[in-house]
Amino acid sequence: MTEPTNHFPLTNSRTDQVFPTLTLAQIRRIATYGRARSVNRGEVLIEQGDQNIPIFVVVSGELETVSPSGAHEILIAIVPPGQFTGEVNTLSGRRALNRIRAREASEVIEVSRDKVLALVQTDEELSRTLMSAFILRRAELFVQGLGDLTVVGSAHSADTLRIKEFLVRNGHPYAYVDLDRDADVQGLLDRLHVSVFDVPVVICRGETVLRNPTNQEIADCVGFNEAVDQARVRDLVIVGAGPAGLAAAVYGASEGLDVLLLETY
């Protein structure tokens, strides 16, 4: 694994918005919503697939965000003192896309998801900082294919196109392995014990192999519908989980609304 000196290469120049450094006054305000923790080097704070994701503000030491990839990891970001973890799934309630671990012995402030929601509803300045970072980080993860899904398929397959369209509509990051262009794709298929007749294949969190899955099966694997209670009355229902719908849902949740985001299968 090759480690960048700081964060993953950005596709835009808004580094200070994607990875903002909080002031001492801002850290003190966040601390009233969370709890101080000491963490050891190598300690995993969030595992890929975890629910009810907290954020961590680094007081001293360093954390790292990594994307598990088989037996290896891709380093996404190093989180130094004054910076914080988290992205859109913290607010939306969906599962963690990546793993967060202490790079060295560190002092952090842990803020639970419920407290993060309370914070963005009551502190306008911190709300702008957190919301902007969360949304921009999700956009970068999507562009660079750093998430919890790998799609193995072909541009000549209608089902491959269907699956990619479904993930794009939901703004869900995924890596793509092209059956027609990747020289080592046969080795990958052999390791997964699948054949070309099973393609498209979706690998969920490096553990579950879905052979030509339906959109419903993919949604179930990544947990899109875990929070849906059809008998519950919502404050706001948003139809369409594209970039605009996702942003509307996140900002609605930040205002304390009970939001339901819908997308077609």
148-189: per-residue pLDDT in tens?
999 999 989 999 999 999 999 888 999 999 988 887 777 877
Please name the fold of domain 15-144: Jelly Rolls (2.60.120)
What is the pLDDT at residue 3?
A: 45
Please give the CATH number for the structural domain made up of 149-222. 3.40.30.10
Q: Is 51 helix (H, G, I), strand (E, B) or coil?
A: coil
Q: Binning pLDDT at 50, 70 and 90, where does residue 265 land?
A: low
Say which range, 65-79, 214-228, 236-250, has the weakest mean pLDDT: 236-250
- Does the pLDDT of residue 116 top 90, yes or no? yes
Q: Which long-range contacts link 137-140 to residues 24+ away (Cβ below 8 Å)?
A: 137/18, 137/86, 137/87, 137/88, 138/87, 138/88, 138/89, 138/171, 138/173, 138/246, 139/243, 140/8, 140/10, 140/11, 140/12, 140/18
What confidence tens digit (pLDDT) does each residue in 54-105 have?
999 999 999 999 998 767 888 999 999 999 999 988 888 889 999 999 999 9
Give the C-alpha separation, 258 to 117, whole Å.
11
What DSSP string runs through 161-191? HHHHHHHHHTT---EEEETTT-TTHHHHHHH
Mean pLDDT for 36-58 is: 96
| pLDDT above 70 as % of the chain | 90
Domain spans, the chain: 15-144, 149-222
Give the residue with greater pLDDT, 21 vs 189. Answer: 21
241 — pLDDT class (breaks 50, 70, 90): low
Please report the pLDDT score of residue 180 as a whole number. 84
What per-residue confidence (pLDDT) applies to 56? 98
